[in-house]
Amino acid sequence: MFFRAAAGAVLVATAFAVDRHAFGLLRTATRYDHWGEMREGLTAAKFLGSGLGTAVVALIVGFLDRRGWRRAVAFLLVVALASGAGAVLKGLAGRERPSRQGQVPGRERTVFHGPSGGLRHASCQSFPSGHTLSAFASATALSAFYPEAAPVFYAVATATGVNRVVKHQHFLSDVVTGAVLGHLLALLLLDVGWIRRLWKGS
């Protein structure tokens, strides 16, 4: 866990360092509109990071897994708790979205304003990316349940993060931080005694 956390810290620091260049590489609205099937794929991937997506995946796990609904409940708990922690951090950080009115493409302000908007929805709600955090928490939990399919789960979660950047909804550092936090929080929660017993069936 220490190695993963250290590697995550390096990734986050790197993302902050290249924030101002990321949109030039991945941008965005006018080009994104012409991405065709790739655009549709990225939009579909974003579903994994939504509340509805989490519920649908839990239902699928509940119906198809031989352990019944125990893993579905564990999955919901892990994703909900990780996403809740991310929502609190988002409200406390108070970072403007790059798409906020007045943010000129290529000259986005990356400042943090603190908890000026409280924990309610406000324009300063960018860090970390909630969709990406939820998607990586989901991918981590599903990979623990079904390790042979882990590359697929993480690929979909990564596509969720890419969607958030190219749509100009998040800075690269928002997405990378969301991915790292989602992964680490899910690992910690999966190892909590009663949650572990739920999904392992022991």
Asked if residue 44 lies in contact with residue 114, where contact means CB atoms within 8 angstroms, the answer is no
User: Is 90 exceeded by the pLDDT of residue 140?
Assistant: yes
Binning pLDDT at 50, 70 and 90, where does residue 136 land? Answer: very high
Q: Residue 40: which H helix or E strand, with range?
A: helix 37-46
Beta carbons within 8 Å of 25's beta carbon, 6+ residues apart: none
The chain-wide mean pLDDT, for the chain, equals: 81
Query: Which domain covers residue 56, as residue numbers?
Result: 2-200
Average pLDDT over residues 184-191: 94
What pLDDT is stored for residue 103 in this prediction?
A: 66
Higher confidence at residue 163 or residue 80?
A: 80
Q: Tell me, what CATH number does 17's domain have?
A: 1.20.144.10
Please tell me what DSSP assigns to residue 16: H
pLDDT at 11: 87
> Looking at residues 131-156, what average pLDDT do you find?
92
If pLDDT is split at 50, 70 and 90, which confidence band does 36 have? low
CA distance 150 to 144: 8
For residues 117 and 97, give the distance between their C-alpha atoms in angstroms, rounded to a whole number.
13
How many domains is the chain built from? Answer: 1
